[in-house]
Chains A and B, each alone.
Chain A
Amino acid sequence: GDSVTQMEGPVTLSEEAFLTINCTYTATGYPSLFWYVQYPGEGLQLLLKATKADDKGSNKGFEATYRKETTSFHLEKGSVQVSDSAVYFCALKTHGSSNTGKLIFGQGTTLQVKP
């Protein structure tokens, strides 16, 4: 079945360090891909998305490129801030004979940024 695998956390970085959170997926067809962020005590909110191969999603300095050949959607940021400390979820939404709009999530990666 369809699935998403994220790198294990937690990830601890110093402020202004470079961030990469790996995400790979397995899906039939061509999914849409999403990164969600969850700040402490809050719900999930969309960070960025890409809906077809080679698309790059970007928001708030974060970027991710939809790589069909490697089935990956790695999240990157050039210089993290303390305020980026959160849990990050990679997710996919697949086409199907019954397009239910269902999202499949990775297990989440906790990022802690220290001053």
Chain B
Amino acid sequence: NAGVTQTPKFQVLKTGQSMTLQCAQDMNHEYMSWYRQDPGMGLRLIHYSVGAGITDQGEVPNGYNVSRSTTEDFPLRLLSAAPSQTSVYFCASSSQSMDTEAFFGQGTRLTVV
């Protein structure tokens, strides 16, 4: 059982470049989300989805785009990378039940130079 798989693990981008962070889960979870983790700021929600075809903005959505064409996949797109987007990115999935936890991917460490 793979759980939540994120790729790549590491990435260096130049300012202005675009890229897509991939996230896939095999647990048939309705809810998927993207967080960024910065020192001293915990995890901040970028975008989330409650099911295929439905996405919404989180706390820090600017500069990022998402889509959810299938239950399994939830890619995060950086449209024009900026140094402020240097961070560690985590994808998570969960069922919508109140009692169940979220499962996290291993993270993508992104550096924008």
Contact = CB atoms under 8 A, between A and B. Distances in A.
B26 to A, nearest CB: 16
A34 B50 CA distance: 20
Interface stretch (B12-20, B61-69, B70-78, B94-102): B94-102
Instruction: Give the contact-size bracket for chain B.
Output: 20 to 34
A101 B104 contact: no
Contacts of B43: 44, 89, 105, 108
Contact of B90 (A43, A102, A108): A43
Contacts of A34: 101
B106 interface: yes
Interface residues of A, number: 23
A109 to B, nearest CB: 10
Interface string A75-105: 0000000000000010001010011111101
A102 B104 contact: no
Interface string B72-113: 000000000000000000101011111101101111000000
A108 B41 CA distance: 8
A93 B50 CA distance: 14
14 contacts: A32-B98, A34-B101, A43-B105, A44-B104, A89-B42, A101-B102, A102-B31, A102-B33, A103-B33, A103-B102, A105-B42, A105-B43, A107-B41, A108-B43
